[in-house]
Amino acid sequence: MHATICDMITDLVQNSIEARATEINLNVEETDTNLSVVITDNGKGMNAETLEKAKDPFYSDGQKHKHRNVGLGLPFLFQTAEMTGGTAAIESKEGSGTTVTFNVDPAHVDLPQFGNFTTAAVTLMTYGFEGNLKIERNVNGKAYAVSKSELTDVLGDLNDTDNLVLLKEFIASQEEEVSTF
């Protein structure tokens, strides 16, 4: 299901969107020895019972995917963290939102490839939801931050073809800047 870490990140942010979050913060920090991802939202959150069930691959609330009775995103995250010696955690409060964190060693042989963050960021920024997504990215001390609301203020409709090209070029230039040694 998740070929890359970016696929996992995309899935987790989509969970926030589907939980009716209006503010989502995605923080991705990389060093040579640690990859840390924190996703925080102000969505509907979960009570303690649902939170525990969300870690079970055979649980689904029946709302997100009406045609299947499994929920694999969070269980895959926890499995990936465990098999690579990393950590994963989820905290949630019903009515207040959810925070998902994971930390892994980017050099671990069993860790999926990181993937294309430009594609993931553009996908998430153009996903059909009215809220704001703020992305903070730090690679070995070089960082950038971007938010959907700021991009929309400058560019307008992010799904407009010309604006989509500009969005992709902008994110790609930021990624190139933080990835340059």
Region 79-102 average pLDDT: 95
Q: Is the pTM of this model over 0.75?
A: yes
Pairing between strand 23-30 and 132-139? parallel
Sign of CA dihedral 105, 99, 146, 9: positive
Six-digit token pair at 110?
Answer: 């069993």
pLDDT per position as a tens digit, 35-87? 999 999 999 999 998 888 887 766 665 555 454 444 557 888 999 999 999 99
Per-residue pLDDT at 2: 67
